Amino acid sequence: MKCPFCGKENTRVIDSRPSDDNNSIRRRRQCDECNKRFTTYEKVEAIPLVVIKKDNNREPYDRTKIEAGVFRSCHKRPISVDQINQLVDEIETAIFNREEKEVHSSIIGEIVMDKLKELDPVAYVRFASVYREFKDVNTFMHELKKILDNETTL
């Protein structure tokens, strides 16, 4: 680390502790050349995630969009806010574990549907009907039949 006072690169860490927000490390350093002290902060470099939409437009990842879709799907269902937050956390973890800088919205939608299917079948069908843009009752019934067939095989 270069000393901000004399510009030399011989510095050492004399104290290290978490910062107030717990999202970085505060380090006190001392220059071996001029003996002056200074503070640096070290934090994890977050890779910005870009979502590729259906029309190939790109926009920054926004957790609130997933939250809003899940909340709408779970409306008037016996699902707590804690369960919804945990579900969104799981979805976000699955997205970021892909370690890609860009992800298609279709992949995010599939992850959301998989997680909702495990949580609540009604919430899943609600989300799927909007996400997959069901055009008629037959498409809706086909999706319901798949859920019912899976339940009978368990």
For residues 98 and 65, give the distance between their C-alpha atoms in angstroms, rounded to a whole number.
Answer: 19
For 81, how many CA atoms within 13 A lie in the half-sphere containing its CB?
A: 0
pLDDT at 132 over 80: no
Among residues 122, 119, 45, 44, which one has the least CA distance to residue 88? 119
91: how many CB neighbours lie within 10 A of its CB?
A: 21
What pTM does this model have?
0.64
pLDDT at residue 84 in the model: 94
For residues 149 and 144, give the distance between their C-alpha atoms in angstroms, rounded to a whole number.
Answer: 9
Question: Tens of pLDDT along 67-115?
Answer: 999 999 999 999 999 999 999 999 998 998 888 999 999 999 999 999 9
Q: For residue 45, what pLDDT band results from cuts at 50, 70 and 90?
A: low
What is the domain partition of the chain in residue ranges? 11-42, 50-153
Which amino acid is present at 105? Answer: S
